[in-house]
Structure 1
Amino acid sequence: MKDPMLLRKIVFIAFVVSFSACLQVFADLFIYWRASLFDEFWRLWTAHWVHVGWMHYVLNMMAFCCLPFIFPKVKIWHFTALLFLLPVLISISFYYFYPNIEAYAGLSGVLHGAYVAVAGVHLLDRKERPFAVGVLALILAKLIWENTIGSVGTAELIGSPVLVEAHLLGVIGGVVIAIVYICWKYILKEN
């Protein structure tokens, strides 16, 4: 393969998809359970890597597989950082801001946050700005749709209600991470 970055992205995607599939086999050990969240701290992170079923898994993995190719300039370590930070931010937000959420499984909140974070950083690139604005507009439209009309079709497809709060928290987390990253790069550039 002539492009080593492409090979790295393919290996990265294969690892993440395989890892998530392995966790899916024992999903009950890894989902977000509010009652035991801090006793079984791994659930802060793993809850976002398991799904309510295999169809849910496939849909989220398809969206995940697109991300590195939609934004080809982003390095693997950026995606890795997002995949470590966003799940914990969302889980802790569930715990403190949505105490009525007892259980959760799925990557969609993290995906919303990752798309927003990467698109937000790409707003600074003049060539990438129109595409980044389009991605952000689509995500905003999706959030508005989900919070007004609902996600009945998606819920029927995956066999479980869609927790739109995860999407909203993911977007908020993505915005915060993008702002921190931009400020960090700006400070480094100044020094």
Structure 2
Amino acid sequence: MNVPYFVRKVLFIAGVASISACLQIFADYFIYWRPDLLEQFWRLWTAHWVHVGWIHYLLNMFAFACFPFIFPHVRIWQLAALLLVLPVCISLSFYYAFPDIEAYAGLSGVLHGAYVAVALVHLSYAHERKFAAGVLGLIVLKLIWENTIGNTSTAELIGSPVLIEAHLLGALWGMLLAAVYFPFHLQLLKPKS
């Protein structure tokens, strides 16, 4: 049976949201907690799948659910790869570059990285270039805003400070992963003779 791609996208989104919701119930065992990070290595990944509360969860799941529909060329395997690689990259960056960060929870850093990576790759599609450039421009403006003025309204909404380092690290890792993937992407775009 051939399941339509739209249905597979919806099932993938539902699966990710369900896993994240299940982890949310026992969030204390899954957050980024620096003192236990290397002994409880799963936290490298799961920290980005749990949230500081259900409003935080809903905001991130909404941003995630929109993702595969606003970038029509992204494949589920590509998105899954980003969801597996970016959390570990960001967590290790916290550990080695930001030793003052003791605790973290949330998908927003991963979302920043995924949006940047996919938007950069979508620049190669002529009919989507303007949209992808617009997404990248908005992310850059958001990062500048957060690093200069701050993000108090989101912090008030979720009931916790926003760790803007996660957003910046996510965007940087997204750029790096897009650069690594791009040569393979170009091979996929070449017409077959």
Using structure 2 for the length normalisation, give the TM-score: 0.95
Output the CA distance in 1 between the equivalents of 2:35 and 2:174. 26
Once the two structures are superposed, the pairs formed by residues 1-191 of structure 1 within 5 Å of their partners are: 4-186=4-186
1:101 aligned partner, one-letter code: I
Output the CA distance in 2 between the equivalents of 1:66 and 1:18. 16
Output the CA distance in 1 between the equivalents of 2:113 and 2:3. 28
Task: Tell me: CA distance 1:60–1:135, structure 2 relative to 1, closer, same or farther (3 Å).
Answer: same
Cα deviation for residue 126 of structure 1 reads 1.0
Output the CA distance in 1 between the equivalents of 2:64 and 2:176. 20
Cα deviation for residue 186 of structure 1 reads 4.2
Cα deviation for residue 185 of structure 1 reads 3.5
- Counterpart secondary structure, 2:127: coil
Output the CA distance in 1 between the equivalents of 2:80 and 2:86. 10
Cα deviation for residue 124 of structure 1 reads 1.1
- Counterpart secondary structure, 2:89: helix
Using structure 1 for the length normalisation, give the TM-score: 0.96
1:178 aligned partner, one-letter code: A
Task: Tell me: CA distance 1:185–1:68, structure 2 relative to 1, closer, same or farther (3 Å).
Answer: closer
Output the CA distance in 2 between the equivalents of 1:3 and 1:50. 30
Please list the CA deviations of residues 130-164 of structure 1 after superposition, one character each: whole Å capped at 9, or x if unmatched: 00000000000000000001000000000000000
Name the Cα RMSD after superposition: 1.4
Please list the CA deviations of residues 94-128 of structure 1 after superposition, one character each: whole Å capped at 9, or x if unmatched: 00000000000000000000000000001111111
* Alignment length (residue pairs): 188
Identity score, percent = 68
Output the CA distance in 2 between the equivalents of 1:147 and 1:29. 30
Any stretches of 5+ residues in structure 2 without a counterpart?
none
- Counterpart secondary structure, 1:127: helix
- Counterpart secondary structure, 1:128: helix
Please list the CA deviations of residues 52-102 of structure 1 after superposition, one character each: whole Å capped at 9, or x if unmatched: 000100000000000000001111000000000000000000000000000
Any stretches of 5+ residues in structure 1 without a counterpart?
none
1:34 aligned partner, one-letter code: R
